[in-house]
Structure 1
């Protein structure tokens, strides 16, 4: 079972993100277009605390950086591993070889409007159509903060040196990231009167990205915090009702589709179609 779908929406500009997270430094190149269908290997915004490049001051500064989604460990022989490294499980992030070093030294927040997840359960059941076994198309849901605020997904980042390029080449170093995930069980969703939708996020999918509330941002980003157990204590799911989930068009299932219409709420899940 995959940790999460690997797709989210990020339409906020750098200035809005900087204000929300108290960013003090914006990279000149940190300008990405609004994206309502962010997929693995794309460039994404990340908020992190670290000394400024080229500065003599060792004090960490809150920055907005552009990273590539899909972590490439520093010891990797090739960046091709990135597509398998989009998620890091909260339960084992402190001990896995690919993640344990960045967990204690290179943590970040990945701003989002929300993320997409495709419902499992009944959608997994095969159906017989004209004598052939078929699987119904899964219904996508959009999960977003109930109050409309920015979603801060806990992440890790890492640097990888491309040995095939000279040191001064602009692409000699890769800056990559991964989203930390956790169990969705117990994450209750608000249910308006008459709503027959999912009661918890686990009704949609058993895993979810680890969403951190503002009161944990400073502690998570602080590079001076290196005790694994203290850091793991920060990885708690959001409180009940903090996020809501609603069905959206299956257009989001195709990564080539983009635009704000992908996050528009449907009155009910789309009629099941078959591959």
Structure 2
């Protein structure tokens, strides 16, 4: 995943608020990138919004970490505790990838095929202010034509399972969604 999100506040805020039963609020940003604020959703006794900065910079890393591979997130010391205790959802209108075509980079938008929000799986860090790392999976066939990874997408029927399961129980969710859930549009 390249690290650019598309967030369109209307109808995203209304749909997310209705699905989760909370007052979800976000601002439109059709090029949301790492180091910027991302509106996420966490759950304890109920769902609540957490605004987090996208990316973490551990002491050992020379660069900002924005993604973690879902296949290893429960094993890596950098991510293990947050994956166990601080999972979140990242509601968005879509994400972008670029592909080299005839010597030029061409931008593509990936969005829900039914004009619904996409809910990416993520993990939060709370050292001083909340920080976000999004999770990625091996892509489905459609998305593999554009990038070797895609976001872990959690469908609404699996929200409670996402928040209340052990890392081992989550293994069935750690895969790409069906091709027909995602539309790809040339920008």
In the superposition, the TM-score normalised over structure 2's length comes to 0.89
Which aligned runs of 4 or more in structure 1 are off by greater than 6 angstroms? Answer: none
Q: CA deviation at 1:32?
A: 3.9
* Counterpart contact for 1:18–1:64, Cα < 8 Å: no
Q: CA deviation at 1:82?
A: 9.7
Q: In the alignment, what sits opposite 1:156? A: 123
Q: For 1:112 and 1:210, locate their aligned partners in 2 and report how far apart those are by CA, in whole Å.
A: 13
Q: For 1:77 and 1:92, locate their aligned partners in 2 and report how far apart those are by CA, in whole Å.
A: 20
SS in 2 for 1:219: helix
1:232 aligns with 2:162: no
Alignment partner for residue 50 of structure 2, among 62, 65, 70?
Answer: 65
Q: CA deviation at 1:43?
A: 0.3
Alignment deviations for residues 22-49 of structure 1 (CA, whole Å, 9 cap, x no partner) = 33xx5xxx75421111000100110110
Q: In the alignment, what sits opposite 1:133? A: none
1:143 aligns with 2:110: yes
In the superposition, the TM-score normalised over structure 1's length comes to 0.62
Query: Mapping of 1:1-275 within 5 angstroms?
Result: 4-12=1-9, 14-23=13-22, 26=23, 31-50=25-44, 60-71=45-56, 76-77=58-59, 84-120=64-100, 122=101, 136-160=103-127, 173-184=128-139, 187-188=140-141, 200-222=142-164, 225=165, 227-248=166-187
Q: For 2:63 and 2:158, locate their aligned partners in 1 and report how far apart those are by CA, in whole Å.
A: 28
Q: For 1:85 and 1:97, locate their aligned partners in 2 and report how far apart those are by CA, in whole Å.
A: 14
Bigger radius of gyration among the two: 1
* Counterpart contact for 1:89–1:181, Cα < 8 Å: yes
SS in 1 for 2:120: strand
Q: CA deviation at 1:174?
A: 1.3
Q: Residues 110, 15 of structure 1: CA spacing in aligned structure 2 closer, same or farther, 3 A cutoff?
A: same
Q: CA deviation at 1:71?
A: 3.1
* Counterpart contact for 1:143–1:245, Cα < 8 Å: yes
SS in 2 for 1:84: coil
Q: Which runs of 5+ in 1 are unaligned?
A: 51-59, 124-135, 161-172, 189-199, 249-275
Q: For 1:118 and 1:110, locate their aligned partners in 2 and report how far apart those are by CA, in whole Å.
A: 21
Q: For 2:95 and 2:20, locate their aligned partners in 1 and report how far apart those are by CA, in whole Å.
A: 19
Please identify which structure carries the higher strand content.
Answer: 2
* Counterpart contact for 1:153–1:210, Cα < 8 Å: yes
Q: Which runs of 5+ in 2 are unaligned?
A: none
* Counterpart contact for 1:153–1:179, Cα < 8 Å: yes
* Counterpart contact for 2:124–2:130, Cα < 8 Å: yes
Q: Residues 202, 242 of structure 1: CA spacing in aligned structure 2 closer, same or farther, 3 A cutoff?
A: same
